[in-house]
Amino acid sequence: PVFLGQMIQYFESYDPDDQTALHETLGYAAGMALCTMGLAVLHHLYFYNVQRAGMKIRVAMCHMIYKKALSLSSSAMGKTTTGQIVNLLSNDVNRFDEVTIFLHFLWVGPLQAAAVVGLLWVEIGPSCLGGMVVLMFLMPTQTLFGRLFSTFRSKTAVLTDSRIRTMNEVVSGIRIIKMYAWEKP
């Protein structure tokens, strides 16, 4: 944003005879291009490493769930349905991939907000605080929507478990019908 602001400032006060300002602006353009390329490289490196860590965590959790499911007693197995285990392995464990990507924004977000407020304060003065006040008012709304989404997610998990249990019963009934050749030709 700083390089872009300097370039815009050059074009606002354009003087065709000022070669020094032209060379400075070309330097700002080169700096902006280098920063953009560096940002792309660093973002890809970040996402690669973070997704790799998330995959390792997910695989470890899947291993732990399989190990626990295989060592459950018959009484505990009666309380735990196949749908719950499948739901754990298909949906819940995948959240580890997502959490590793977005976890760092918890501490980077406030730093970025402070840097942006500082840059805006230098450029436009105290009126930048109005935008921050609007953002502060939107935070509770975002929290409300997060809780609402969490409620929907828990209801979906219960319905998914019920659906998988029903499908297991249907498939087992079809197997019995096929095994005893009870279907009509």
State the Cα–Cα distance between residues 119 and 124, nearest whole angstrom.
9
Mean of pLDDT values over 146-164: 87
Tell me the torsion sign for CA atoms 53, 59, 62, 66: negative
Q: Which domain holds residue 9?
A: 2-103
Contact 29, 3 (CB under 8 A): yes
Question: What's the pLDDT tens digit per position in 43-89?
Answer: 999 999 999 999 999 999 999 988 988 888 888 877 877 777 877 88
Residue 36 has what pLDDT?
Answer: 93
Establish if 56 belongs to a structural domain: yes
Same domain, 61 and 150: no
Same domain, 75 and 135: no
Same domain, 96 and 136: no
Establish if 116 belongs to a structural domain: no
Q: Where are the alpha helices (DSSP H) in the chain?
A: 2-12, 19-70, 74-79, 82-87, 95-102, 105-124, 128-179
Q: Which of 7-16, 55-64, 90-99 has the highest mean pLDDT?
A: 55-64
Closest CA to 4 of 32, 26, 27, 30: 32
Closest CA to 149 of 95, 72, 79, 69: 95
Question: What's the pLDDT tens digit per position in 115-146?
Answer: 988 988 888 888 888 888 998 899 999 999 99
Residue 94 has what pLDDT?
Answer: 84
Establish if 118 belongs to a structural domain: no
The count of structural domains within the chain is 2
How many percent of the chain have pLDDT more than 90? 31
- pTM (2 decimals)? 0.63
